[in-house]
A = this chain, B = another copy of it.
Amino acid sequence: MALLFRSTPERGAIWQRVFQQEGERIFLGEDAVDDPAAVTHIACWMPPRDLSRYPSLQVVIGVGAGVDHMPPLPEGVALSRTLAPGIEGMVRDWVVMAALALHRDLPAYLDQAARGEWRTHTTCLARDRRIGIMGMGRIGREVAGTLGAMGFPVAGWSRSGTPVAGIEVHGASGLDGFLARTDLLICLLPLTDETRGILNARLLACLPQGARLVHAGRGAHLDMAALRAALDGGQLAAAMLDVTDPEPLPADHWAWSDPRIIVTPHIASQTDPEEGARHALAVIRATRNGQPVPGLVDRAKGY
């Protein structure tokens, strides 16, 4: 059994150390694979296009917080979603940073800083900035807890509308009312057929004028042209995006240089490399021992 790990050299070095300590075999990148038939597991954000090179493949391990972007896998190949206790907290940290940055006008101050301009803008208290979270899974509930404890009025929206203690949660049919009371919208939805393109012109128009958008869902949720139009028309004041469409964002894309937008390169849900490697080891051992694979994904549900 051997694992093929597709990632950066920086993360690869950490995985290699963990695997060597535990006496397991690892290839860092496809070019390093000198024995394709030995590869039983692939850990990656996106698998190689041609999986027929790996006839012994048993499990693909998604290293991000979600696996909804994964293509269909060959029959008999299982999909495992990394269970890293730290990953929800890591996304929560990025989202709280982004929400506070938009709350306190960081895009405008960065734009001024580029010109050396020292000028203050009036702000408002946390209690006067109503936050709305789309997607009330584990990460959404953590974000709601942190921002609620800081004094922001927080509401949530999810397809099911399942109640969450201490938070007003709107269901599918309550979307318009949820948006109308949301000054700062946070998208944490999984990508499904129902949520693809959900952040469109119609949705943005339901927010109060001058609202702000934090997007840490998936690039395909957001209509980037509608975002630009909403910023140009004043419907949105600013946005912070960790996911984009397309992704990676091309170097000459307008969003990089728009002073109302801060883009980060899909870093909110980075798995801690040590935790990710430990999850992969647990999957390999479970496969070897014929035990249930940790983090096994039911692809019919889509997440």
Q: A-side interface residues toward B, CB under 8 Å?
A: 8, 10-11, 14, 86, 89-90, 92-94, 96-97, 100-101, 103-106, 109-110, 112-127, 146, 149-151, 247-253, 256-257, 262-267, 270, 272-273, 275
Report how far A119 CA is from B256 CA in the complex, Å.
13
Taking a contact as CB atoms under 8 Å apart, the answer to whether B265 and A112 are in contact is: yes
Q: For the complex formed, measure the closest distance between the CB of A145 and the CB atoms of chain B, giving whole angstroms.
A: 8
Residues of chain B within 8 A (CB-CB) of A248 are: 118
Which are the 3 A-B pairs with shortest beta-carbon distances?
A116-B251, A97-B100, A118-B248
Residues of chain B within 8 A (CB-CB) of A96 are: 96, 100, 150
CB < 8 Å: which of B113, B122, B150 contacts A263?
B113
Q: For the complex formed, measure the closest distance between the CB of A140 and the CB atoms of chain B, giving whole angstroms.
A: 16
Taking a contact as CB atoms under 8 Å apart, the answer to whether B262 and A123 are in contact is: no
In the assembly, how many copies of this chain are there?
2
Specify the chain B residue showing the minimal Cβ separation from A8. B120
Specify the chain B residue showing the minimal Cβ separation from A101. B97
Q: For the complex formed, measure the closest distance between the CB of A124 and the CB atoms of chain B, giving whole angstroms.
A: 7
Specify the chain B residue showing the minimal Cβ separation from A248. B118
Report how far A109 CA is from B54 CA in the complex, Å.
36
CB < 8 Å: which of B8, B110, B125, B267 contacts A89?
B125
Which of A11, A93, A123 is packed against the most chain B CB atoms within 10 Å?
A: A93
Taking a contact as CB atoms under 8 Å apart, the answer to whether B101 and A101 are in contact is: yes
Given known A-B contacts A89-B150, A150-B92, A262 and B113 have beta carbons under 8 A apart:
yes
CB < 8 Å: which of B103, B110, B122, B272 contacts A93?
B103
Residues of chain B within 8 A (CB-CB) of A89 are: 125-126, 150-151
Residues of chain B within 8 A (CB-CB) of A97 are: 97, 100-101, 103-104, 106
Taking a contact as CB atoms under 8 Å apart, the answer to whether B86 and A127 are in contact is: yes
CB < 8 Å: which of B104, B118, B150 contacts A249?
B118
